[in-house]
Amino acid sequence: MRLQSNANDTRLKELRDFSNWILKVGDGSIESSIDGIDKVLIPNDLLINEYTNPIASIVESTYPDFITNCNDIEYLQQRAILAPTLDMVESNQYMITLNHNPEKSYLRSDKICRSDHTYSALEHVHTPEFLNNIKCSSVPNHSITSKVGVPMMLLRNIDQSAGLCNGIRLIVTKHGNQVIEAKVLSGQMIGQKMFIPRMTLTPSDSRIPFKFQRRQFPITISFTMTINKSQGQSLSYVGLFLKMPLFTHG
């Protein structure tokens, strides 16, 4: 009992120290000047210092014994790797290779919106190959490779009354040609079976100077997700894959 009490005291102290550090980071009162630039030093015990392959190392740290637990809904529900941008979530593809179930690929259909006043000119300039390479927030990629047991995140509201809302996480249970069957991993509908249809989506990214439509399943693999998309998620084990500085005070 004494050993258990000491262990609990040590754990409480670690949590208290970590909470105080997080608060100081948020207040902007913990910083060090490195080469004339103010930077926050991350405590060494939070870092993965020894690795050969950075993606394999953070996957092993965040998803230990993944092959054994890849069909455990609670295991997948509690974990995620976070990255700053869409370009940095390549660990999703790495983790799909660790799942040995048969894969299913879905290709999207892209076309210029006829409502765009420059439609007649754009359809000759922006070929299907060009449109297929466009990646932007809240829109699925040209090709989605899925396997049974892979967690996905919904990118659009489909049926809010049924819990199918933007940002909800699901685990794929069956593939169809026009629908994907999945169980909910987050929110109030955990464990419920849902059906995800193909949808026609129009990206609203202001960086794209024209409108086009994309018909695809409104989902993306969510072993790894952007920090922005992680807002609202409840996670017990989180890995941060930071290939560039991204924090600012406030």
Per-residue tens of pLDDT for the chain, all 250 residues: 565 677 788 889 888 988 888 888 777 777 666 666 667 778 888 899 888 888 889 999 999 998 888 878 888 888 999 988 776 776 788 888 888 888 888 776 656 555 555 544 555 555 555 555 556 656 666 677 888 888 888 888 888 777 778 888 888 999 988 889 998 887 777 888 888 888 877 666 656 656 666 777 888 888 888 888 888 788 889 999 888 777 665 5
In 3-state terms the chain splits into helix, strand, coil percentages (rounded to 5) of 30, 25, 45
User: Which of 126, 131, 106 shows the shortest CA–CA distance to 213?
Assistant: 131
User: Which has the closest alpha carbon to 198: 209, 174, 214?
Assistant: 214
- Rg over alpha carbons for the chain, rounded to the nearest Å, is 21
pTM, two decimal places: 0.72
Question: In the structure encoding, which two tokens stand for residue 190, read together?
Answer: 């955990």
Q: Which residues contact 117 (CB under 8 A, 6 or more apart)?
A: none
How is the chain split into domains, by residue range?
1-47, 53-240
- Exposure string for 113-125, b = 16+ CB within 10 A, e = fewer: eeeeeeeeebeee
